[in-house]
Structure 1
Amino acid sequence: MSEALADLPPLRESLAAHGLLAKKAFGQHFLLDLNITRKIARLAGVAAGDRVIEIGPGPGGLTRALLETGARVTAVEKDERFRPLLEELGVACPALDLVFGDALEVNEAAIAEGAPAHLVSNLPYNVGTALLIKWLTGPWTPASLTLMFQREVADRITAAPGDEAYGRLAVLVQATASAHRVMDVPARAFTPPPKVDSAVVRLAPREDRLAPERLRALEQATAAAFGQRRKMLRSSLKPLGGEALAVAAGLDPQARAETVDLAGFLRLADQLAGRGA
């Protein structure tokens, strides 16, 4: 760690000096405990020289921990209020690059400049799921993703068939990546504390990426099946072929979506994409 980085004032002092408070409209909850942010950086497996993209750094708590590893960090922040504070951090550590803009519209491939890049973020609550789907189904593939979500969302990402939280998000995520919950973070760790606890999920994109047409078919199948999740497949899949589609995919038409595993949904997708036997 550089001396300049070590000499920075505590995050609470920096926030107070700039008169900054979390903005509810942006789903902001600051993580100021460097013990927690350092643990997240360790769980991400980030090492010196690695390229990291962080979304929503806010006051820079996780950013500091990532920079301490010797990684090259690009922080993407939508809230211009944090520009002076983050620029101070950039002066202390030139390995930090700043991009001010909407993460949903950012071109990560351009940021990474063709090199492998890890995504490590305490995601804003209001866009976390949308960003995850963007990263797992879009044209650019991250080297890894270590992301903090509301615990309910983390449960939905890692759920198995039959679990109460199992649904469309679990299927889409697990079709494109391996996902493991690696750390729980209580609400009291944040400033201000949210109403729910959070959890960190570590994801590794699958090397055998789904072809675009197969992914589109999977999105179509899961949207129909879970759109009416309490109905049997013969009813929920009716717009796509109903009972005949379920049987062709080797599924019981009287089963419900919450009991169908990833392999079953991939067979449904293959039937829709015209790849079935």
Structure 2
Amino acid sequence: MGKVKTIKAKETTNNGKNTQGLPFNTDFGQHILKNPGIVNAIVEKSAIKSSDTVLEVGPGTGNLTVKMLEQAKKLIAFELDPRMVSELKKRVLGTPVQTRLEVRQGDVMKQEWPEFDVCVANLPYQISSPFVFKLLLQRPLPRYAVLMFQKEFAERLLAKPGSKEYCRLSVNVQLLAKVEHLMKVKRTEFRPPPQVDSAVVRIAPRNPPPPLNFDEWEGMLRLCFMRKNKTILSIVRLSNVNDLLEENYRRVCRMKNKDIPEDLNFTELIEKALTESGFAEKRARSMKIDEFLQLLIIFNRIGVHFHV
């Protein structure tokens, strides 16, 4: 990471410092909740049990952390900023909850995660998407996560078919989890205030997860959403897409020692399957998850795969 930049004094309170006297680092996505009522509401909605291990990301000065420590058996916090690590440890030093806190300094996306029951975090925008997928592919699965995102990102997680926010992220996350909107949080509730409002959502992984090859599923969704307003048929007719799918088809046939007809017309094969199944004129922007699952079955049935 490049040179650390601290925010300008006009963006902070208390003469350019937070309550612990540290300038906030917006490069790390540091926007600390200053309203105790919202902190309490997030903890309440997290419904932490006394037997739970909680994973927190970016605890900052620990406003949320100390509240959760009162309820959890253990809390493991990942924090990138060494200054915040020091402040958080000082905050619980000598208190009854000190032994329940474990702080790991470093990038949460580059470290192996421990087992945990619940995840609670106010996530920087730049890691929102990869974090959600790492969470949903974590084993064993946590019970749920209560996460704060930028409002626009949260809307994509919750989007339904036909809405302008509906995208590959919406389909992927809703396939693997139940997503609920919990509360809105205005930008003015943070110090320093970010550029946009936020929202808190609960993500509860489906357990057991759906029995499918996620890499192949993801490959098909990438194709469908590369032009989400175009029909599926018009997308597979694109020369680069058609060539890639035929290459995968031939590779799978070789792997399975399956003969490839000398007169194979791959374009005709795929167009016939889409037309007969009623998917030729469908568009990703309005397709439901069950329809995407059905489409993958149709492709696989004729030997078309997306991750080989």
TM range (shorter): 0.7 to 0.9
Q: Does 1:266 align with 2:281?
A: no
In structure 2, give the amino acid aligned to 1:104: M
1:74 counterpart SS class: strand
In percent, how many aligned pairs have the same letter?
Answer: 32
In structure 2, give the amino acid aligned to 1:49: S
- Which of 282, 296, 305 is matched with 1:255 structurally? 282
Listed as ranges, the gaps of 5+ residues in structure 2 are 1-13, 246-266, 304-308
Aligned residues of 1:90 and 1:97 also touching (Cα < 8 A): no
Per-residue deviation at 1:161?
Answer: 0.4
Per-residue deviation at 1:40?
Answer: 0.6
Partner of 1:173: 173
Shift in alpha-carbon separation, 1:145–1:205, aligned structure 2, 3 A? same
Q: Which deviates further from its counterpart, 83-92 or 49-58? A: 83-92
Per-residue deviation at 1:247?
Answer: 4.3
RMSD (CA atoms): 2.5
Question: How far apart are the structure 2 equivalents of 1:135 and 1:198?
Answer: 20
Question: How far apart are the structure 2 equivalents of 1:19 and 1:185?
Answer: 25
Listed as ranges, the gaps of 5+ residues in structure 1 are 1-11
Shift in alpha-carbon separation, 1:222–1:88, aligned structure 2, 3 A? same
Aligned residues of 1:245 and 1:268 also touching (Cα < 8 A): no
| Pair member with larger Rg | 2
Partner of 1:224: 223
Question: How far apart are the structure 1 equivalents of 2:192 and 2:274?
Answer: 48
Aligned residues of 1:33 and 1:61 also touching (Cα < 8 A): no
Per-residue deviation at 1:252?
Answer: 2.8
Per-residue deviation at 1:16?
Answer: 4.1
Aligned residues of 1:118 and 1:145 also touching (Cα < 8 A): yes
1:148-198: CA deviations, max 9, x gaps? 101111110011101111110010001100001111111110111111110
Give runs of ≥4 in structure 1 deviating > 6 Å: none
Question: How far apart are the structure 2 equivalents of 1:33 and 1:55?
Answer: 19
* 1:1-277 correspondence to structure 2 within 5 Å: 16=18, 18-91=20-93, 92=95, 93-94=97-98, 95-108=100-113, 111-112=114-115, 116-211=116-211, 213=213, 215-238=214-237, 239=241, 240=245, 243-244=271-272, 246-247=274-275, 250-273=277-300
Shift in alpha-carbon separation, 1:104–1:183, aligned structure 2, 3 A? same
TM-score, with structure 2 as normaliser: 0.76
Per-residue deviation at 1:96?
Answer: 1.0
